[in-house]
């Protein structure tokens, strides 16, 4: 039976941890969800759920984005829809610091964005007309 040096096992564990850190944040689904939650929660002119709705309305996709918040399991969308809804600058920001290309980020967003919108919407209160920001009934409970 051979005995292992405790320093060798520690060095092996540290090198394994270093490899997992190099992968990048978008390889972990929770980091993707956290980035989307932060993006949708912002209230700036070029960020947030309101921005996403305005951009969707300008591009003729308002009903698509609104439907994500009113279905139990929003279906993934195609890459073209993501590229229309999110400008290249935002996609590149999401890709920054990760090993993923912008095409890989768009592919991940095609599944993750509808679910993130659903999660964002169900945390808010609605008025009886389904508008956000007013205390009232939740349209999901109608």
pLDDT at residue 55 in the model? 94
Find out whether 106 and 91 touch, Cβ atoms under 8 Å: yes
137 vs 48, which has greater pLDDT? Answer: 48
Query: What is the pLDDT at residue 53?
Result: 94
Tell me the range of 14-23, 45-54, 90-99 where mean pLDDT is highest.
45-54
Q: In this model, does residue 13 exceed pLDDT 60?
A: no
Average pLDDT over residues 6-34: 47
Judge if pTM exceeds 0.85.
no
DSSP label of 126: B
On the 0-12 / 13-18 / 19+ scale of CB atoms within 10 A, 78 is exposed
86-101 in b/e form (b: 16+ CB < 10 A) is beeebbeebbeebebe
For residue 57, what pLDDT is reported?
A: 95
Return the percentage of the chain with pLDDT > 90, whole number.
Answer: 36
Tens digits of residue pLDDT in 89-120: 988 888 876 778 889 899 999 999 999 999 99
Could you tell me what percent of the chain has a pLDDT over 70?
A: 64
What domains lie within the chain, and their CATH numbers?
Answer: 26-141 (1.10.10)
């Amino acid at each position: 039976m051979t005995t292992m040096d405790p320093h060798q096992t520690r060095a092996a564990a540290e090198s394994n941890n270093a490899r997992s850190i190099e992968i990048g944040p978008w390889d972990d689904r929770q980091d993707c969800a956290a980035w989307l939650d932060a993006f949708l929660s912002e209230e700036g002119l070029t960020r947030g759920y309101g921005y996403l709705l305005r951009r969707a309305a300008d591009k003729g996709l308002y009903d698509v984005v609104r439907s994500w918040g009113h279905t139990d399991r929003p279906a993934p969308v195609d890459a073209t829809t993501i590229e229309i809804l999110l400008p290249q600058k935002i996609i590149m920001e999401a890709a920054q610091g990760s090993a993923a290309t912008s095409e890989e980020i768009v592919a991940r967003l095609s599944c993750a964005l509808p679910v993130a919108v659903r999660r964002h919407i169900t945390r808010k209160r609605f008025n009886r007309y389904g508008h956000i920001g007013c205390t009232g009934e939740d349209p999901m409970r109608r």
